[in-house]
Amino acid sequence: MSRFHSCGRHILGSAQAVIDYRGSRVVVSGDYKRRPDPTCAGFEPQRCDLFITEATFGLPVFRHPPDSREIEKLLHSVRLYPERCHLVGVYALGKCQRLIALLRAAGYDEPVYLHARSLG
């Protein structure tokens, strides 16, 4: 039997698969995120015998600062240099929505522009 549970990834609807077979449980997930994200459901830990995953920033050397601190640094720069364009590199799908949600939650209500670049 298989079921899907949220993996808290940066794309709405992303999931991890839980497979029960002959008394064993396997969980398969793409990249996942344990921090809260205003654009998707949170990560749901699953008990398992085997966990298979891909984790871009899974090594302990990666320590990401709190989102609120990064948003405040960006907004501080916008206040300091209102005449300048502020460019933030994010993936068009997922990360961009998260950035906009975090900006709005911090009270920034000015327009935000997205430039999509075709890779093909």
- Given a cut of 80, whether residue 1 has pLDDT beyond it is no
Write down the domain spans for the chain.
2-53, 65-120
pTM of the model: 0.71
- Given a cut of 70, whether residue 118 has pLDDT beyond it is no
Q: Which position has the higher pLDDT, 56 or 85?
A: 85
Q: Which position has the higher pLDDT, 46 or 2?
A: 46
pLDDT at 10: 64
Query: Mean pLDDT for the chain?
Result: 85
pLDDT at 32: 74
| Sequence-ordered list of residues with C-beta below 8 angstroms from that of 51, at least 6 positions apart, any chain | 26, 27, 29
